[in-house]
Amino acid sequence: MMIETLLNQACRRLASVSDSAQLDAQLLLADVLDVSTAYFYTWPDKLVPAKSADQFECYVTRREQGEPIAYILGRQDFWTLTLEVAPCTLIPRADTERLVEVALELASDAKSILDLGTGTGAIALALAKELPEAAVQGVDFQTEAVQLARRNATRNNIQNINFVQSDWFNSLSSASKFELIVSNPPYIDPHDHHLEQGDVRFEPKTALVAENQGLADIDHIIKQAVSFLAPKGWLMFEHGFDQGAAVRTLFCNQGYTNVMTYQDFGSNDRVTVGQYRF
């Protein structure tokens, strides 16, 4: 069957489950054929080998059932990196790049950086790449996530980074001090109806959900971080679009200063920061 025919058929099937059906189909077929999507505009009448067509059919069926493209392909672009992804971690999203931008804006001179709940390692790796003189550490409670993050460091040839298993700060030395601590923790309320929609249906609930209207882990980290921040160190979170005011209050209640909220690319509150002065 020709490329154009396969893509058109897939688009029709995916239209009811994806707002980007055409792009989804192109990404899946490009992976199968090991070509760029530009190839399809140049060679729409090329015949697809039967084995490749069968693999494409498997991919389309999985996407039809709602499985995220990133999990099907096993990778996701983030910042300037290409990361391996797996169902044990969240899929890195463009909104999280805003946290990286804010960190680079406010703490570009940081030499010791900690990423809590690192998952794929996306935030930690982006910062390590941009700040090659910094020593970056990422921690995650899930051993599988730590192993995945280590593979992503190797894949992207980033060496100024270390990943360890830890339940937030629990496995860190009490003498550890960081000039910058970042986190994209669970921040969705357990009863939020969005948990039953879209890609998040396939992502690990432990990385998504927190008690106290999604604020429990953020509150815990804010309280514990004071023991691990260097003087004038920054603590920064990604959070839900409607949580900015609540997160600022949690920061201020613990004596942080320079508390500010930054908007994402859709003009929603997305990143809140605070500086702890000793």
Binding site as annotated, residues: 117-121, 140, 168, 184-187
Q: How far apart are the first and last CA of the chain?
A: 68
Binding site as annotated, residues for S-adenosyl-L-methionine: 117-121, 140, 168, 184
Tally Cβ neighbours within 10 Å of residue 173.
Answer: 8
What is the C-alpha separation between 160 and 64, in angstroms, rounded? Answer: 40
DSSP-assigned beta bridge partners for residue 136: 113, 161
Would you say 133 and 111 are in contact if contact means Cβ atoms under 8 Å apart? yes
Binding site as annotated, residues for substrate: 184-187
